[in-house]
Amino acid sequence: MSIQKTVTVDLGERSYDIVIGPGVLAQAGERIKAISPGARCAIVTDANVNAAHGEALRASLDAVGIEHSTLEVEPGEQTKCMAVFEHVVGGLLDARLERRDLVLALGGGVVGDLAGFAASVTRRGMDFVQIPTSLLAQVDSSVGGKTGINAPQGKNLIGAFHQPRLVLADTDVLKTLSPREFRAGYAEVAKYGLIDRPDFFEWLERNRQKVFAFGPELVEAVAVSCQSKADVVARDELEGGLRALLNLGHTFGHALESATRYDGSRLVHGEGVAIGMALAHRFSNRLNLCSMDDVNRVEAHLRVAGLPVTIGEIPGDLPGPEKLLDYIAQDKKVSRGKLTFILTKGVGQSYIARDVPSSEVLQFLKEVT
């Protein structure tokens, strides 16, 4: 158990711990009892995760006498919608849970975003615990309090900032992921190195294989990722500025996800982010900000991790540069009409550029599509 690591997200009264490592799921009951003695729990999970890990969580709650019920939703992105949201909120109310009772979000990013948002509005705000079961959720979506659902107008357009009371990231659980899912999550791990931790990126270059082999290096990689995100969130909880750095690779990535209509058989989020990060470095190079050596180094590392780095690697037809630019402009990271991009001066030297001319972006897209 000594391999477990704890990262604290420092948000004053709303501070919370992220506990990372093997065996964390089995400790859920005692850890939850410690933060909320007497609270009852509603587990929100999807059918697949429930089958794989639901019993382990319930056994852990039973062992310390915590009352619980389970709300199961369908797996998949389409679950992050208003209808399922209403169903989950209704389930929490039917269970007569009170504000200080707990919603336990057991699953990947979809379940975490949905259950966290449901918790945030039920009785104007219930407590909740994130128990992320995908690498993507462990290093990204479960940390920082962003919750929400999709709207017909776009992804994640309806939601709330609602911090969990605790995050339990059991790295053993990641062994049940498909290799493609694991790789996609790894793109977000690499992202933290590329944002502002060049030493971590170097460490990943040396230790990638051990991370993928579920060694203690995986716990280290998740912990550094969570610490990186926690540092940014602590300085900018409500995404006023700095937090935009976490969108490195996401502006291009989201446009590509839109262009493939979020068809996971063609492109999953982490793959979009991988291509987006490669493009962000290449675009920065075109703007004479970043060396070609850095572009090549980033692409090489993502490639060797099994991730795509060019638009051409996405199977099937894609819209042209003009349409891709339109998707970028529709992204919510537009402030009063100006395009905001995360650009970089090299590995680990990203920064927020608030008024990138769309003509430059279009020219670049014409070169890379």
Whether residue 10 contacts residue 230, with contact meaning beta carbons closer than 8 Å, is answered with: yes
Positions marked catalytic: 124, 146, 188, 229, 239, 243, 247, 250, 254, 269
Contact residues: a second copy, CB under 8 A: 38, 82, 86, 89-90, 93-94, 98, 100, 117, 120-125, 146, 148, 151-154, 156-161, 238-239, 332, 334-336
Looking at the Cβ atoms of 84 and 318, the one nearer to a second copy is 84
CB of 156 to a second copy, least distance (A): 8
52 versus 81: smaller Cβ distance to a second copy: 81
CA–CA distance, 166 with 249 (Å, rounded to integer): 28
Residues with Cβ within 8 Å of residue 153, at least 6 apart in sequence: none
Quote the CA–CA distance of 35 and 166 in Å, as a whole number. Answer: 8
Residue among 173, 176, 200 at smallest CA distance from 188: 200
Those residues whose C-beta lies under 8 Å from the C-beta of residue 211, and which sit 6 or more positions away, are 186, 189, 204, 217, 218, 221
Tokens of 211: 């991370």
Residue 256, phi then psi, degrees to nearest 5: -70, -35
What DSSP string describes 293-322?
A: HHHHHHHHHHHHTT---SGGGS-S----HH
Nearer to a second copy, 88 or 106 (CB): 88
Tokens of 8: 């604290």
User: Tokens in use for 104?
Assistant: 């336990």
Least separation in angstroms between residue 222's CB and a second copy is: 25
Whichever of 146 and 281 has its CB closer to a second copy, that residue is: 146
Task: Please report, as a single letter, which amino acid is at residue 163.
Answer: Q
Type of residue at 93: L
For a second copy, give the closer residue by CB, 50 or 120.
120
Residue 140: other Cβ atoms inside 10 A: 27
Considering the complex, state which of residue 93 and residue 300 has its C-beta at the smaller distance from a second copy: 93
Distance in Å, CB of 153 to a second copy, minimum: 4
Q: Which of 27, 2, 63 is nearest to 167 (CA)?
A: 27
The least CB distance from residue 360 to a second copy, in Å, is 22
Alpha-carbon gap, residue 367 to 360, rounded angstroms? 11
- Cα separation, 121 vs 165, whole angstroms: 15
**Residue 142 is which amino acid?**
S
Q: How far is the CB of 369 from a second copy (least distance, A)?
A: 26
User: What's the rounded Cα separation, in Å, for the pair 241 and 255?
Assistant: 21
Please, which residue, 67 or 205, has the CB nearer to a second copy? 67
Distance of CA 342 to the CA centre of its chain: 17
249-264 in b/e form (b: 16+ CB < 10 A) is bbbbbbbbbbbbebee
Place of tokens 């769309």: 358
Q: What is the CA radius of gyration of the chain?
A: 20
Toward a second copy, which CB reaches closer, 158 or 287? 158
